[in-house]
Amino acid sequence: MARRLPIFDNHMHLRAEFKGVEAAKAFEKVGGTAIMLTHTPYDDVPISHGSDYERAYRKTLQMAEAVRAATSLQVFVALGPYPVECMHLKEVVGLEGAVEAMRQGIDLAARYVALGKAVALGEVGRPHFPVGPDLVHACNDVIEYTMATAKRLGCAVILHTEDPTPEIFGEFAAMAEKVGLDKNRVVKHHSTPLTRPEENHGLVPSILAKEELVVEALKGGSRFMLETDYIDDPDRPGAVLGPATVPRKTRAWLERGVLTEEHAWTIHRETPERTYRIQIE
């Protein structure tokens, strides 16, 4: 009997006040089996101090429990302070205070990783749009602190940054090496399709489920993950990709020969299992 192919979406945001569980059901209905539920900022939980992350993280963890209760999906969780929040925190508590608040956010997320409630710290990093050098330096401080924490915990880090070039991949690889974090445990969310080791310096690309990106990525091998970056925001219905995209596209690409079965198993099981030290059923 042929094994059932697992289908893993490496980056989804779900909000109880919007589609939430219904989006997860849409993913499952077309063959999805597992998701990485990634923490997101919430309008009703403003972050002004590091302690505010406790309430925000609990909201993400409650969403994970709701999806598990309503579906058969495996739900893995990543928790961390969203990088763009640094800009707001800078206005509230100054740049040094912003860094300290985000470090506190990492420490709170680390507690949930230690408890087995989350498997990764993320998404963390720096704004994906140009900002001043002072803010970049502050965000890099937080990235390095996050990587050191991940090294201590034995967990992965999911990075949110500008679109990576080989040079930017190299920058983050150097940060990981500095603190002793295995580069196989550093995931670049919303990555460019740079899958050759000399391009990504050993980091793990997570690529939007778009055919042109996947075709390009496969030129360097199948060591990458797929994601929608579904944001669950009714005010931005066309932003990024819908929740059913990864299973639908994976099946279509298999039927048309864009992906082989071996590619699919690597993308949807082997790479996530190795990166997060999880078991995908």
pLDDT in tens, 120-144: 999 999 999 999 999 999 999 999 9
Give the start-to-end residue ranges of the domains of the chain: 8-276
Q: Tell me the C-alpha distance between 236 and 262, whole Å.
A: 35
- pLDDT for res 222: 98
State the average pLDDT for the chain: 96
Q: Is the pTM of this model over 0.95?
A: yes
Q: How far apart are the first and last CA of the chain?
A: 16
Give CA–CA dist 89/23, Å, rounded.
31
| 182-221 pLDDT per residue, tens | 999 999 999 999 999 999 999 999 999 999 999 999 999 9
Listed range (95-104, 125-134, 204-213, 232-241) with the worst mean pLDDT: 232-241
Q: How far apart are CA 204 and CA 217, in angstroms?
A: 12
Q: Which two tokens stand for residue 32?
A: 């999805």
**Residue 259 phi, psi (nearest 5):** -115, 145
Task: Give tens-digit pLDDT for 69-83.
Answer: 999 999 999 999 999
Angle at the Cα of 248 from the Cα atoms of 120 and 20, rounded to 5 degrees: 50
Is the pLDDT at 277 greater than 80? The verdict is yes
The pLDDT score that the predictor gives to residue 3 is 73
| Helix/strand/coil for 96 | helix
pLDDT digits (tens, 9 = 90+) for 105-114: 999 999 999 9
For the domain made up of 8-276, give the CATH fold.
Answer: TIM Barrel (3.20.20)
C-alpha–C-alpha distance, residues 18 and 233, integer Å: 7
Q: 128 φ, ψ to 5°?
A: -85, 5
Would the pLDDT of 42 be above 60? yes
Nearest CA to 121 out of 148, 146, 152 is that of 146
Q: What ranges make up the beta strands (E) of 2-62?
A: 8-12, 34-38
Q: Assess whether pLDDT exceeds 50 at residue 1.
A: no
181: its two tokens: 């974090």
Q: Which residue has the tokens 């949930």?
A: 112
Query: Quick one: tokens of 229?
Result: 């970056």
